[in-house]
Amino acid sequence: MSRDTMVSSGGDVIGNTPLLRLNNITKDLDATIAVKLEYMNPAGSVKDRIAFNMIETAEKEGKIAPGKTVLIEPTSGNMGIALAYCAALKGYKLILTMPSSMSIERRALLKAYGAEVVLTDPAFAVKGAIERAQELAAAIPNAYIPNQFANPANPEAHYLTTGPEIWKQTQGKVDMVCFGVGSGGTCTGVGRYLKEQNPNIQVYPVEPFESSAINGLPHHPHKIQGMGIGMVPENLDRSLFSEALRVHSDDAIAMAKRLAKEEAILGGISSGANVCAAIQLAKRPENKGKLIVTTVNSYGERY
C-alpha cells in the first residue's frame, strides 16, 4: 500500500505502517527500541493484515463468496474488529464468539461494523470461544471459520508485508524482534521472513507471566487482552525461537500508560507488554548497541 495516491478499496490502505524509535522510555538503555504503529491500519490494529489476507485467500480458493457464506470466528477482540471491517468491506455476514471478559469498547466497535457478537464464559478463555464457534458453524448452512489460530494465511500476511516492511525501514539493521503471542501469526510470519534475510536475527515470543503456555505453564486469568490465550496456537513456529519472554499484567498496563505520557503513543495493554519485553532484552549486557523492533498492536481507546 502507498499513502501517496488515492486508492479504490479499503483493502489498499492496510499495512505500510510507520516504524518509530522510542526516545524517552529508553533514554537509560544501551540498545535502541523501535515500534511499528499498527494502530494506523484502517480498523485500528495489527489484525487488519491477517483478516484481509485470510478472506482474500479463501475467496481465491473458492471456499467463500459474499452474500452466500456466513463467516464465524472466535476472537479476543481485535481480530473480530478486523474481520468485521473486512466483512463490511466485502459484503459478508459475520458472527463472532468471544469471552465476556473482553472490553465493552471492543464489543461496540464490532456491532458498529454490523457483526453479531456471541459471548462465552471467560473461565474457558479462547478455547471456550473456539468451541462455541464450532457449534455455530455445524448448525448454520454455508458457514466458514477462517480460524486465525491454524490458518496459514495468518502468518503469510506478516511474511508478505510486516516482515519486509521492518527489513526495509531498518535498512536491514534489525537485530531482534519480540511480539506478543495470541494467534502466533506475527511472530511466525515476521520471524520467517527476517531469518531468511539474516539468520542471526533473534525472534522472541511474549506471553503474560500469568498464562505462559509456550513455557508449559497453566492458564491463569490475566489482564493482557489478545495474548496468553491458554494454549499454544498451531500457527506458532517454535523453530524460530529458543526463549519465550514473560510480562506481568500490571507491568504491561503501567507501560501502556508510560507510552502515552512519555512517547505520545496511545497503545493498548498488549502494546505495553511488547515494550516491556523489548526493554527486558535491551537491559541484557550482550544486547548493547542492538536494534530491537516490536509492535504497538492497537489503539488505546479500546481499553
Catalytic site positions? 47, 270
Consult the annotation and say whether 182 binds a ligand. yes
Consult the annotation and say whether 226 binds a ligand. no
- Please name the residue that has the C-alpha cell 482474500: 56
Q: Which of 258, 40, 287, 295 has the alpha carbon at shortest distance from 179?
A: 295
CA distances from 231 to 6, 33, 49, 104, 191 (A): 42, 29, 23, 24, 20
Consult the annotation and say whether 289 binds a ligand. no
Give the pairing type, strands 32-37 and 291-296: parallel
Residue 173 has a CB neighbour count (10 Å cut-off) of: 12
Consult the annotation and say whether 78 binds a ligand. yes
Consult the annotation and say whether 120 binds a ligand. no
Which three cell numbers, joined as nine digits, stand for 208? Answer: 503474560
Length of the chain: 303
* Adjacency order of strands within the sheet including 143-144: 116-120, 93-99, 70-74, 143-144
- Please name the residue that has the C-alpha cell 502507498: 2
Largest CA distance in the chain: 58
Q: Is 134 exposed, middle or buried (0-12, 13-18, 19+ CB in 10 A)?
A: middle
Q: Please report, in range form, the residues annotated as the binding site for pyridoxal 5'-phosphate.
A: 78, 182-186, 270
